[in-house]
Amino acid sequence: MKKMKCYLCGHDMEKGTTKVNAGWGKYDLVIKGVEAFICPECGEKVYTSKEIDMIQELSESLSQANKNQRPDVLNVEEVADLLRVSKQTVYNMIKDGRLNAVKMKHEWRFIRQDVESVLQPDDTSVSLVARGDITDHDKRIIQERLRED
């Protein structure tokens, strides 16, 4: 069996099963028995691509089933849920111009189509998340992943 190191703390991860909380809006979907590599030290979980695909398909089918129930105008909490980010991230996205929003009294409002367009960026742009210089640990992880493919 292939060993996997935790990318956060460097400990050996153990293969096991866990549950995943997913869903859409007010609907919660708990998927039990999902295979993952779990770090016994920090609790970080890494899922196989097969498991990720399954989770995404289930979540997407739930979102499609409720398409007629979704409002066209969203608040911050609904946008955060749609994008699977924190409310603070939504505020940051408003501030840096990634999200179009209208402030009505003390609350922000969003057009669903504008928010969904963030999930489908044009092919000409590539977004990277930076957290400073790449570390030797990061380089090792990248090299290991490239060798696996």
What confidence score (pLDDT) does residue 11 get?
92
What confidence score (pLDDT) does residue 128 get?
46
> Of 105, 116, 26, 83, nearest to 91 (Cα)?
83
pLDDT in tens, the chain (149 residues): 567 898 889 999 999 999 888 766 666 778 888 899 999 999 999 988 888 888 888 777 766 665 556 558 899 999 999 999 999 999 999 998 889 898 888 889 998 888 988 887 654 444 445 556 677 777 787 788 788 76
What is the fold of 1-68? Ubiquitin-like (UB roll) (3.10.20)
* Domains of the chain by residue range: 1-68, 71-149
What confidence score (pLDDT) does residue 125 get?
45
What confidence score (pLDDT) does residue 37 get?
92
Residues whose CB falls within 8 Å of the CB of residue 36, separated by 6 or more in sequence, listed in order: 15, 16, 17, 18, 45, 46, 47, 48, 51
Report residue 35: phi and psi, to 5°. -75, 140
Cα 34 to chain center, whole Å? 17
In 10 A of CB 66, how many CB atoms? 13
Domain 71-149 is of which CATH architecture?
Orthogonal Bundle (1.10)
What does the block give as tokens for 33? Answer: 């028995």
Predicted model pTM: 0.41
* Interatomic CA distance for residues 104 and 30, integer angstroms: 35
